[in-house]
A and B are shown apart, each in its own frame.
Chain A
Amino acid sequence: MSSIELPIRHRIIARPRSPLRLALDRFLANRLAVAGLIGMCFFVLACYGSLPWTLHTFNHQDLREALAPPSWQHWMGTDALGRDLLSRFLLGGAISLLIGIFSALVAVGIGLSVGLVSGYAGGRLDALLMRGVDVLYGLPYILLVILLRVALVDRIAHFFNATGLPHAQGLAGIVVLLVGIGGVSWLTMARVIRSQTMSLVNQPFVEAARATGAKPSRILLRHILPNLIGSVAVYAALTVPNAILAESFLSFLGLGVQPPVPTWGNLAASGVEAINPIHTQWWLITWPCVGLTLALLCLNFLGDALRDALDVRTR
């Protein structure tokens, strides 16, 4: 290939840039994504920064103040037991985000390892693992979470009770949701990682690594994994909002985290009951749902922009 002589000026401007740097530029050029990032930072700071305060007040009941509309004293109003909705909202947000992030981590952990092993090993092991993924794909995921919950929650609550933690039932609900939602969201990830690993394994640089005598573990971790970071980031970012949404569904069905421990899902679910023909307490449903919607919006913008920035196909 013959190189074209460029004027000196162009040669200086056209510095080589790494793919990561290019992706970062594309991401930052997307104003919605930056807005999403800022919004998410705000939520995280507000929800986790206020923990020292909310952990003390979230269950403080004052029946004289029950069902008070928003005022200077209670910015978001109070619920039927006179608990301050703001502190429940903030703690609920912290728990919902925690469930979202940890479920995504569980999903990434399982999906990445299954995909890597399956794509690298091939043959029988690959066929076996992919049949397993097919099996899980066929079962309705909400049913699996419900079954896991039914099977596990009392045992874990019993364990927490034995260790003397307060709100054992609620905490057990959180743990089961983390594991349950994470445990059913890794399937797509495993398939994507597998197909990418399969195409990477045939690349010359992997062959070169193998020729120099590198062990499979080293090839996987040092040569293949770094090439997969993009897809992992995209799928992780898209799993977080889905997990938060799944939590709200399950709470609505009464299968999520049990009150008095708040999450946006169960706050919204108890707010739904407040819509009635006699007297509507709008603040009970509005705040948790606004929080849920805004957080999901920020996360979806983030995930979408990450996909656009890292995925060459949809650009």
Chain B
Amino acid sequence: MTTYIIRRLLLMIPTLLGMTFMLFAVVRFAPGLTTSGGQVSGGIMQSRQAQKQEQQIMERRLHLVDKNGHPINLAMQYFLWLKSTCEGHLGTSLVYQEPVLTLIEQRLPVTLTINAIAMAVIYLVSLPGGLITALNQGRFIDKGYGFFSLALYSLPVIWLGSTLLGFFANPQYFNWFPSAGLHSTNTGNMTFFRYIADYLYHIVLPIVCSVYGGFAFLSKQIRGSILENLQQDYVRTARAKGLPESTVLVRHVFRNSLLNLITLTGMSLPGLLGGSVIIEQIFSINGMGRLAYTSTLSRDLPVIQDLALVGSVLTLLCYLAVDICYHLADPRVIYD
């Protein structure tokens, strides 16, 4: 097993190189970089000379030109970026003038809270949902649940999000929820629990929006794997030797069905950190998704590249974790 993990970790290196290089190439081929990409801090108030100087500093920082101002080719640019990243220097944002790590530190907790709560809600509904629909296969409750969850999945989030915002966070209709932001204005004189309650109150609508579409897929997968397990020989054996049906379901069927969930859950873990651009945009939440979106639009190269790097590392680690967990949970699965 240890050899396997080491081999997988080594295999990650070329994959990571591929990922980062591809993104690097696409970003640098995008037009508008060398002329307008440098968000010159002083804007039009600066003299032309100062602007030019800043542009040069920016270009040198991004390794677009060498010390003498000659352009560097793409492969070399990538190599220089890789070198400084391996030395532990993540970039500094051109727009915010702050290290990328600081930006991530500010935004990650927000996205992570919303996504973790949303994921918990999805599982809390889908697990019993999948179980009940599988046990009542073909009956009204199965069809009704399937219809309802697919119907929810089909609602476009831009519509639901802005409608919720327009009616439930609008003084003219129901002013139940705040329309933007994550805190009330008077957080300073709140007790800790009031603060948490205030925070949760602010993220109700975003969580509703991230949750409602997730039931269909997960419930269907759970239903499918339970149905598959119900037909297995060991279930027949368990029933034949006179075990109560509840024991058969919980110990034999449900536990084996959870194996399939390992893959599904593991694959969705990197998504927890990504954040949804749409939901964060609708509810004006400064999370990871919005950071990635705005920095792509403003060609904030260091941010795009480092976000992609962090994202790819996490994705690959999750894949590895899935395979290891699978082996731990199901000893029949052996990797050579």
Contact = CB atoms under 8 A, between A and B. Distances in A.
A233 to B, nearest CB: 18
A272 B278 CA distance: 13
B277 to A, nearest CB: 6
B91 interface: no
Interface SS, A side: helix
B14 A131 contact: yes
B151 A272 contact: no
B26 A289 contact: no
A140 B311 contact: yes
A131 B15 contact: yes
B17 to A, nearest CB: 9
A135 B15 contact: yes
Nearest to A36: B150
A150 interface: yes
A253 B278 CA distance: 8
Interface in A261-315: 268-269, 272, 275-277, 280, 285, 289, 292-293, 296-297, 300-301, 304, 313-315
Contacts of B162: 272, 275, 285
Contacts of A142: 277, 293
B315 A143 contact: no
Interface string B23-34: 100110111100
B19 A241 contact: no
B281 interface: yes
Interface residues of A, number: 43
A146 B296 CA distance: 8
A245 interface: yes
Contacts of B166: 275-276, 280
Contacts of B228: 313
A148 B159 CA distance: 26
A100 B89 CA distance: 42
Interface string A134-146: 1101111011101
Nearest to A298: B154
A135 B296 contact: no
B40 interface: no
Q: Which of A131, A139, A140 has the most CB of B within 10 A?
A: A140
Interface of B: 14-15, 18-19, 22-23, 26-27, 29-32, 143, 146-147, 150-151, 153-159, 162-163, 165-166, 170-172, 216, 220, 223-224, 227-228, 270, 274, 277-278, 281, 292-293, 296-297, 304, 308, 311-312, 315-316, 319
